[in-house]
Chain A
Amino acid sequence: MSYQLIKAGINLYAIFKNLEDLIALDEESRNLIKGKKISIQFLVKNGPKAWLQFENETCKVGQGIMHNPSVKLWFKSPEHLNKMFDGEANPIPLKGFTKLGFLQKEFVKITEKLEYYLKPEKLENPSKEYIEINTRFTLTVAAFALPEIVKYNREAKLSASHIPDGKIQLWVLPNDPAVFLTVKNGEISAQKGTTEKPDAIMEMKDYQTANNFLNGKSNPFLAIAIGDVIIRGQTNMLDSLSLILDKVQNYV
């Protein structure tokens, strides 16, 4: 069941990663956590583990186990977690029964807003601000999805093994948002922001270009040839990377 496992990893590590920016950028979401200090641990049996922390009107998302969370949610399988993300299942709370109100009200609203920003196809005429946020989120999802796909997809693992060790910077011009990937021995890790001295750079001309490119709506070779996407450095790293990027849409 590598599909469910990859999807669960992407849901927890890539989709949820956007909660950090959602709280920072979206006032409505920020208001929902005003004065609240809540941390939630997600535990998936034979699957990914992640935590969210809402505090001082910010959100932090991390991988692994956190110390003493206020809420612990358990899932009996990756599939169970994925069903929750699709609104078809509920988690099994292990701890924090007094906070269930937050989970059922505010947290639901926050995740709905997250989904709103991730699904531009539902909007007729998205605003510039909307596209900006959507692009930022799409970039984060793509970057943080890569390690999960590489871990469990045979072809992606092979592609990653062809990428020489080093750092790849992806960004949307003029200079934001940005993510970078660190490749070491065929494993990929993702971070938001910029890195000094990347080995390869992929710049997307603007939000719309980035959107089309990251959502697989444009051909990478074509986008590069017409200058919509600018690549530099050890671009052979990008050849294999793009093969993995192409797979992201199978899971989100």
Chain B
Amino acid sequence: MKTYTYKKSQELFKKAAEVIPCGIYGHFSPAPLIPVTDYPFYIDKAKGSRFWDVDGNEFIDYMCAYGPMVLGYNNPLIDAAAEEQRKKVNCGTAPARVMVDLAQEMVNTVDIADWAFFAKNGADMTTFSLMVARAHTGRNKIIRLKGGYHGTAPWMQSPDHHGITFNDNKDIVMGEWNNYEALEKYIHEHKGEVAGIISTPYHHPTFADNELPAKGYWKKVEALCKNEGVVLIIDAVRTGFRLDYGGSNEYFDFKPDLIAFCKAIANGYPISSLVGTNEMMNAASNVFHTGSYWYSAEPMAAALATIRELKRVNAVEKMFETGTKLGNGLIELAKDHGYNMKMSGHPAMPYFRITDDPSLMLHQKWCGECTKRGAYFTSHHNWFMSAAHTDEDIAETLKIADEGFKAIKE
């Protein structure tokens, strides 16, 4: 099997490094792509479940733009809906009608939603959710959980990071995933101080196995929040519309007060949303939060079409199925080669790890070997399935994975 090289990617990166801090910053930084020489840095085009890099190499994509791609790249239906709106107006002096239609669609689709607010990025909405919780309760403290990611605003980062101060984190309290007792203890000891708890519906940290909620965990947290007047915020930026149309909390059978959506909401068009219950609406109305592009109508049209299309093609069920097939196939293959592959998290966003080497070095090598043969795998982050991934993609991926296992033995 041919292995890829990335001459043009690397040349372009060198140029980029001269005019862009870090060359490629943030979550696309090549730093966690290990070995870095096995990965492309720049994309040229994409279609369906695949993308082509600037060197012309073709990949079956298991990162899906780190989540936004859910119905296939360049999905004609979504692009047509967006284009139709763009021709009328995108960024105007007032909102377009589509905004109301989209809000209605969110309210109709997401179980707890009585209203929907729109912005651009996930962090716009996780930050807004804190403001709403504080406005609603008149309290300051927010509990977030270790290893949870909510974006890059100062409150979301540890104060030892560059550019962040201890003051930025003054009212942020760190809890622990699946540790109900600690949450309860803190809230009871700080009665009337905690405005909200923000958490992902299940734990999907990087560099570690993903963890589902323990039995009864969410029900207990929900009850605690109700009793103590604490706003329960679910960050579904990653999980939204991949686990359940009605909200990924529904998949785990509990009801938060607020849910933040982003990635899968518009198949790559820039939009995010916070939805909430009636009880939260007054606070959401009182908080001032906006942005230059938050009313742009093209992504709203794309989101409306995406949510409808997700339901029409049974995307959630499909991603569960293909993710499970991929997982079972990889586990089986690994076994044939004498390795133990562990799959954790949800099948639509699986995290894989070869457990034989706890340092991850073997797993990194395998991910690199597969990537340079055409199956784009990362070793530090959960992967993403899309409704565009086909059985043929999975079959081809497993062939590549088999070669990957052979390569790491050499």
For A199, give its contact among B29, B32, B358 (CB under 8 Å). Answer: B358
Q: Mark A208-248, 1 if CB is under 8 A from B, else 0.
A: 00000000000111101111001111111000100100100
Contact assessment for B166 and A154 in the assembled complex, using a CB-CB cutoff below 8 Å: yes
Interface centre among A158, A221, A224, A230 (most CB of B within 10 A): A221
Interface residues in B, total, Cβ within 8 A:
32
Q: B361 contacts the other chain (Cβ, under 8 Å)?
A: yes
For A222, give its contact among B17, B32, B359, B364 (CB under 8 Å). Answer: B17
Contact assessment for A230 and B359 in the assembled complex, using a CB-CB cutoff below 8 Å: no
Contact assessment for B380 and A222 in the assembled complex, using a CB-CB cutoff below 8 Å: no
For B35, give its contact among A220, A232, A246 (CB under 8 Å). Answer: A232
Known: A158-B160, A222-B22, A227-B37. A234 touches B17 (CB 8 A): no
Known: A227-B37, A234-B360, A235-B380. A243 touches B160 (CB 8 A): yes
Contact assessment for B31 and A225 in the assembled complex, using a CB-CB cutoff below 8 Å: yes
Chain A residues touching B, range: 20 to 34
CB of B15, distance to nearest CB on chain A (Å): 12
Contact assessment for B359 and A225 in the assembled complex, using a CB-CB cutoff below 8 Å: no
- Which A residues are in CB contact (< 8 Å) with B10? 226
Q: Mark B194-237, 1 if CB is under 8 A from A, else 0.
A: 00000000000011000000000000000000000000000000
Q: A14 contacts the other chain (Cβ, under 8 Å)?
A: no
- State A202–B259 Cα separation when bound (angstroms): 40
Contact assessment for B29 and A221 in the assembled complex, using a CB-CB cutoff below 8 Å: yes
CB of B177, distance to nearest CB on chain A (Å): 15
Known: A158-B158, A226-B13. A233 touches B25 (CB 8 A): no
- Which B residues are in CB contact (< 8 Å) with A162? 158, 160
- State A234–B361 Cα separation when bound (angstroms): 8
Contact assessment for B160 and A236 in the assembled complex, using a CB-CB cutoff below 8 Å: no
Q: A198 contacts the other chain (Cβ, under 8 Å)?
A: yes
Chain A residue at minimal CB-CB distance from B365: A232
- State A217–B103 Cα separation when bound (angstroms): 50
- State A246–B163 Cα separation when bound (angstroms): 13
- Which B residues are in CB contact (< 8 Å) with A199? 358-359
Contact assessment for A221 and B25 in the assembled complex, using a CB-CB cutoff below 8 Å: yes
For A225, give its contact among B21, B29, B207, B361 (CB under 8 Å). Answer: B29
Contact assessment for B160 and A234 in the assembled complex, using a CB-CB cutoff below 8 Å: no
Q: A4 contacts the other chain (Cβ, under 8 Å)?
A: no
- State A189–B159 Cα separation when bound (angstroms): 23
- Which A residues are in CB contact (< 8 Å) with B36? 224-225, 227, 230
Q: A188 contacts the other chain (Cβ, under 8 Å)?
A: no
Contact assessment for B160 and A156 in the assembled complex, using a CB-CB cutoff below 8 Å: yes
Known: A158-B160, A226-B14. A235 touches B29 (CB 8 A): no
Chain B residue at minimal CB-CB distance from A247: B160
- Which B residues are in CB contact (< 8 Å) with A232? 34-35, 359-361, 364
Besides the known contacts A224-B36, A226-B14, A236-B380, 17 further A-B residue pairs in the complex with CB atoms under 8 A apart: A198-B359, A201-B361, A219-B21, A219-B22, A221-B29, A221-B30, A222-B22, A225-B17, A225-B36, A225-B41, A226-B13, A231-B31, A232-B34, A232-B364, A233-B364, A234-B207, A235-B380
